[in-house]
Amino acid sequence: MQTTFTEKIEEKLQLIYQENYQPDYLEKMLHCINAYKEIPQKAIATISEQNIYLITYGDSFYETGKAPLQTLHEFLIKETSDVITDVHLLPVFPYTSDDGFSVTDYTAIDSSLGDWKDVQNLSKDFRVMLDFVANHISKSSSWFQSYIKQEAPFTNFFIEKDVHFDYRNVVRPRTSPLFHQYENGKELWTTFSEDQLDLNVKEIDCLIALTNVLLLYAEKGATSIRLDAIGFLWKESGTTCMHLKETHEIISLWRILIDELYPNLQIITETNVPHEENIRYFGNGENEANMVYQFPLPPLVLHTMTTHNSNKLSKWASSISPISDTATYFNFLASHDGIGMRPATGILSEAEIGFLVEKTKENGGQVSYKDNPDGTQSVYELNINYSEALKNKTEDITEALITQKTVAAHAILLMLQGVPAIYYHSLVGSKNDYNGLESTGINRRINREKLEINQLYTELKSNPYRNKIFSSLKKLIRIRRNHQAFSPFAKQEIVDLGADIFALKRESSDECIYGIVNVSCKKTTKQLPCAGKNLLNNQTIEGEITLFPYEVIWLKEGHK
């Protein structure tokens, strides 16, 4: 007998709450869901090789006298309408700290950016990914203020310190205290900062409130929803309080709701952790995340371009295989955060990670650390513009070389199985923002500069560095979008052409494309795996070919 929608929900709630489950939990959840079931929704298309995400803040582009979300919309239409399909809006809600990740009101758009109408207008021309900061909320939020006043239903929405709880193994992404004290005298759980209080999803009313936010974002037109820092969601004494089974069951519950109410909406989990932990968020491939962030990719591509050796990247990429017809990888090189190093654990050695740390410092970047349960600290992320991170002091560091190296790195991103996402500073050829870093003392600000749009338009034409990166990446994307071999679900196979080359084969039912990248600073001659046409210049090639430093070839096999 087929399980009904209601039965699926009840089953998940029972798995989450175990012996604490009460029958009214289902009634409360159904009441929340029913508010959205009768609202007509436009159909969401499935993802394909057409989909390219841009990662951006709502005010990454600005101009005087106009809402930044409108400026962003106009920039995308004017400059990227044929290359960008999906726009990841980093938190666009009112906030008090952490550049948007300390939300005060999940249901409103920050008035300094625009309003919901601006978001919905954007969604008419581009698919929109909204950021759901589900693990924590600002101390200035009405939720927390109602908790302080002990107003229902918020009386148990936050996690009070418990003398009987064993905190020794709790995973810490920061060096700040796990607990802070507030005006009610209570010490409360704060994974990230004093202004960001973790929410207590062990309280059913809290889970219902978060579920309502998720469905609201879908109802407002989101086609993707990013679950920020979701691995920290459930806490249990004596554990790491990371990736617990209850967290997975909550994501699975949300997937059930989304699949029923908003088919093809993408749930994307953000878990900056080692690869094997990260991919567990696919569940069985059909019951949790539609996409997981491919966190090992940024440090591995950086390592490859630094050492001129693709062996580590190739070995890792050879383990990447199709997940299901509804699940794949969210591939990226740069984002609003730094280059996470935890995901490189077990892939790169401590010495190799240390080498990237020293290189980052030499190239003007910063390094952020995390506390470990044993009292030590380890590298958490490298804070630097990705193109600046690619510089090698042993090479002739010219803008032309860094441009080619940046394009080569992004060619790898665009070749791999999954859906590519490009950070706005990578797309428009930005560099380290030292003013932002020095004025705030916040390491991540080195790669979060806000760009005045008219100045940017001028520089995209007159500045050779910006122009070359921007035009080259757009050319790669246009080509990629025309070939089914680059489908997120198409086959991928690593091809061994030597350590100085990263090469793979992507194959669909009607074509086969070899992506070949010289990852070294020297010319190299290689025997091609087949004869065919180089999609980047339409030249037919076969036999041996000489590749210049960081040159890229996308070779479509001739007989396909």
Positions marked catalytic: 228
The DSSP code sequence of 125-156 is HSEEEEEE--SEEETTSHHHHHHHTT-TTGGG
Answer whether the bond into residue 153 is a cis peptide, omega within 30°. Answer: yes
In 3D space, the residue among 230, 423, 452, 245 whose CA is nearest the CA of residue 332 turns out to be 423
Please say whether the beta carbons of 165 and 239 come within 8 A. no
- Helix or strand holding residue 338 (H, E): none
Report the phi/psi class of residue 554: left, alpha or beta, with left for phi > 0 and alpha for psi in -120 to 50: beta
Amino acid at site 319: S
Report the phi/psi class of residue 548: left, alpha or beta, with left for phi > 0 and alpha for psi in -120 to 50: beta
β-bridge partners, 328: 291
Q: Any idea which residue has 């960008």 for tokens?
A: 84
Helices 5-17, 245-261: axis angle to 10 degrees equals: 160
Instruction: For residues 75 and 90, give the distance between their C-alpha atoms in angstroms, rounded to a whole number.
Output: 17
Report the phi/psi class of residue 556: left, alpha or beta, with left for phi > 0 and alpha for psi in -120 to 50: beta
Instruction: For residues 408 and 404, give the distance between their C-alpha atoms in angstroms, rounded to a whole number.
Output: 6
Phi first, then psi: give them for residue 282, nearest 5 degrees: -75, -15
The DSSP code sequence of 160-209 is B--TTS--TT---SSSS-SEEE-TTS-EEE-SSBTTEEEB-TTSHHHHHH
Beta strands 501-507 and 491-495 are antiparallel
How many angstroms separate the Cα of 334 from the Cα of each of 151, 207, 357, 367, 381? 42, 32, 16, 15, 12
Instruction: For residues 494 and 503, give the distance between their C-alpha atoms in angstroms, rounded to a whole number.
Output: 6
Instruction: For residues 288 and 255, give the distance between their C-alpha atoms in angstroms, rounded to a whole number.
Output: 6
Classify 7 as helix, strand or coil: helix
Instruction: For residues 2 and 54, give the distance between their C-alpha atoms in angstroms, rounded to a whole number.
Output: 40
- Burial (CB count within 10 angstroms: exposed 0-12, middle 13-18, buried 19+), residue 533: middle
Instruction: For residues 354 and 359, give the distance between their C-alpha atoms in angstroms, rounded to a whole number.
Output: 9
DSSP label at 348? B
Q: Any idea which residue has 């991540």 for tokens?
A: 444
C-alpha torsion 85→128→214→265, nearest 10 = -20
